[in-house]
Amino acid sequence: MGINVADTQEEAEAFLAANGWDWPQIHDPERTLARSLGADYQPEVFLFDEEGTLVGNFEGGGTESDWSALLERLP
């Protein structure tokens, strides 16, 4: 799931489509949800387990190795 803080809903949907992604987006133009998670940078990636517990995060878009290392934190 993504939290969109900077783009319109249409811009976010176009960005996802252009990259072949289809996860849901929450539109958060006031950054209320993003700030509640501690996201001060854009983009910031958060990883939650199946129970909804935050198990990791990093600032920036990341690379394939960043994503793999983050996913290894899942039980």
Summarised one tens digit per residue, pLDDT across range 9-66 is 899 889 889 988 888 888 998 989 888 988 877 777 778 888 888 888 778 777 778 8
Residue 46 CA, chain-centre distance (Å), reads 6
* 16 neighbors 24 (Cβ within 8 angstroms): no
CB atoms within 10 A of CB 40: 10
pTM of the complete model: 0.64
CB atoms within 10 A of CB 39: 19
DSSP 8-state class, residue 1: -
